[in-house]
């Protein structure tokens, strides 16, 4: 679906009403941000540590019309303090709309700009904030794939026929990828120092694939140590055929995944963050369509918590 078709589809669902309900006024948006923990629900006074209380204020004091106030020492604090919105000018409703539209896979930035009237830079800045939060979340919660008897397909691919911005990624970055055939969950990791020998790959594999998994790969020599590392390992010789006629072993799911990944990181300024966002979205892709957008939106909100 292109941008227009995606928007028409969204407009026809109850999700659109839901988003409208939480963003129709700044007050509703602010309330929602407090509920979701993106704005802090409690605030200790920086001076005396007493719990501060929320009080209405004039627009000259804060455009959010609400501030934290310490009853004993009368100090004030902005309600955006200690949150992802701290120091940001974006209104609460625009912030929520932006996160919502970023949850829609393949909706181009230009469409988001037209829909909510924010600049290209604002979209790009928030994308970076969001993807950095997602990356930190995945590092803290690696959630490995596979498990005893579960088939995992693994492969390496070279990314970046184009040059990524500012030389952060040299041309031809190797990425190790694997997909769980049961859940469709995946991991995509740039190979450290662009190496793909056993010494480099095995620690990544052991962190991201559960012991006892059945791992299908091509015949790349770095994978020879997999059996010793508690996996059942089958390989297929890609220079002869893509499905082993005797065992039926193939890595076509991973091959298909590479096509999706390569499409979704086109134009990314930071390959690693774009890969991380792809992995994050995959965790919410089981149900598809509207649920997928809603789940991704909720997932994004959870990583944006204060
Ligand atoms: Zn105080």
| pLDDT of amino acid 237 | 76
Distance 276 CA to ligand 1 centre (A): 41
Q: Distance between CA atoms of 95 and 80, rounded to whole angstroms?
A: 12
Provide the angle, in degrees to the nearest 10, between the axes of the packed helices 289-303 and 120-140. Answer: 80
Question: What stretches of the chain show up as alpha helix (H) in DSSP?
Answer: 3-11, 14-23, 26-35, 92-102, 109-116, 120-140, 198-208, 252-264, 271-282, 289-303
Q: Quote the ligand 1 centre to 67 CA distance (angstroms).
A: 14
- pLDDT < 70 stretches in the chain: 1-3, 161-171, 238-243, 284-290
Q: 91 alpha carbon to ligand 1 midpoint, in Å? A: 28
pLDDT of residue 29: 97
Distance 46 CA to ligand 1 centre (A): 7
Predicted local confidence at residue 206, as pLDDT: 93
Q: What is the pLDDT of residue 161?
A: 54
Cα distance between residue 99 and residue 116, in whole Å: 11
Q: What is the CA radius of gyration of the chain?
A: 23
Break the chain into its structural domains and give their ranges: 3-39+83-140, 151-282
151-282 in CATH: which number? 3.30.420.10
């Amino acid at each position: 679906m292109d941008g227009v078709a995606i928007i028409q589809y969204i407009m026809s669902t109850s999700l659109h009403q839901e988003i409208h309900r939480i963003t129709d006024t700044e007050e509703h948006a602010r309330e929602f941000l407090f509920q979701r923990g993106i704005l802090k629900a409690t605030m200790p006074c920086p001076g005396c540590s007493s719990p501060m209380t929320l009080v209405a204020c004039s627009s000259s004091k804060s455009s959010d019309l609400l501030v934290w106030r310490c009853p004993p020492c009368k100090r004030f604090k902005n309600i955006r303090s200690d949150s992802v919105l701290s120091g940001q000018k974006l209104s609460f409703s625009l912030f929520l709309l932006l996160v919502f539209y970023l949850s829609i896979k393949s909706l181009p930035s230009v469409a988001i700009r037209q829909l909510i009237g924010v600049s290209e830079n604002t979209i790009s800045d928030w994308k970076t904030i969001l993807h950095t939060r997602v990356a930190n979340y995945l590092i803290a919660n690696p959630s490995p794939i596979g498990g005893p008897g579960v088939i995992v397909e693994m492969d390496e691919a070279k990314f970046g026929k184009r040059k990524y911005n500012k030389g952060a990624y040299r041309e031809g970055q190797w990425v190790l990828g694997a997909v769980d055939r049961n859940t469709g969950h995946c991991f995509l990791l740039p190979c450290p120092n662009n190496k793909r020998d056993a010494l480099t790959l095995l620690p990544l594999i052991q962190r991201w694939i559960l012991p006892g998994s059945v791992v299908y790969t091509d015949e790349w020599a770095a994978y020879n140590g997999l059996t010793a590392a508690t996996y059942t390992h089958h390989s297929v010789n890609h220079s002869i055929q893509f499905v082993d006629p005797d065992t039926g072993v193939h890595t076509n799911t991973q091959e298909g995944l590479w096509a999706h990944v390569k499409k979704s990181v086109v134009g990314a300024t930071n390959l690693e963050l774009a890969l991380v966002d792809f992995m994050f979205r995959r965790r919410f892709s089981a149900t598809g369509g509207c649920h997928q957008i809603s789940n991704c939106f909720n997932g994004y909100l959870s990583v944006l918590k204060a």
